[in-house]
Amino acid sequence: MVAFVGPSGGGKTTMFGLIERFYEPTKGEIRIGNTPIQKLSLTSWRNQIGYVSQESAMMAGTIRENLYYGLENGDQIPDGRLWEVAKMAYADQFIADFPKGLDTEVGERGVKLSGGQRQRIAIARAFLRDPKILMMDEATASLDSQSEGIVQQALTRLMDGRTTFVIAHRLSTIVNADKIVFIEKGRVTGIGTHQELIQTHDLYREFAQQQLA
C-alpha cells in the first residue's frame, strides 16, 4: 500500500492520471517490474487496474448493469458470481432487501441509493474485475461515520493481496501504509512510513498534529 499525501493542488491526482495513462510523462518513465508501462497495450494495462473514487460513477440502469459496467461480455456473468462479489463488498444485504434485487433501477447517477450503498456497489465492481492494481481516491471521504465503517471494512478486504495506491486527505486512513509519498508543488518532498515522516518531514508532522491529535 502506497499513499500519496500533501496539500491540495500539489500533484496527487496528476500522479494517478500518469499511472492510468491519461497522459504520458514528459520526462522519466513508469515501470511495472522492469517494463515501461508504455510498452503494454492501453487495454491490457487498464484491465489490471481497479479504481474506487470519492464519488464512484453510477449510470442509470440496474444494480446488475452497474456491477458489470465496463467488462466485456459482462451481461453473461452468472448471478451467482454477482451475488458473490456483492457479499464480499458487504452489499448483498441491502440488494436483497430491494423487491427486484439485482434488477433494481438505481436512477440517474445512482440517486436511488445512499452514498454508502453506491460505494459498496463500486467496491463489488472492483472485486468483479479482480485487478492486480487498486487505486483509491479517499473512497470514504464523503460518507457518514456508520457508512464509513462498513465501506472501510469492504476496502480492507478488497486491498488484501493487491498493490494499492491511495490518495489520502485524512491521515487516519493511511497511517499503516507501507510507504507514504508526500507531494507538494509538483515535487516529492518526502518518502517513508508514517513514523519516519513524522520524524523527518516538518509539513507531514504538522498535518499529523492537526488531524491525529
pLDDT at 213: 65
Domain count, the chain: 1
User: Which domain CATH number covers 116?
Assistant: 3.40.50.300
26: Cβ–Cβ under 8 A, 6 or more apart, which residues? none
Task: Spell out, as residue ranges, where the chain has pLDDT lower than 50.
Answer: none
> Whole-prediction pTM value?
0.85
Q: What is the span of the domain harbouring residue 140?
A: 2-212
pLDDT of residue 188: 94
DSSP string, 69-100: TT-TTGGGS-HHHHHHHHHHTT-HHHHHHSTT
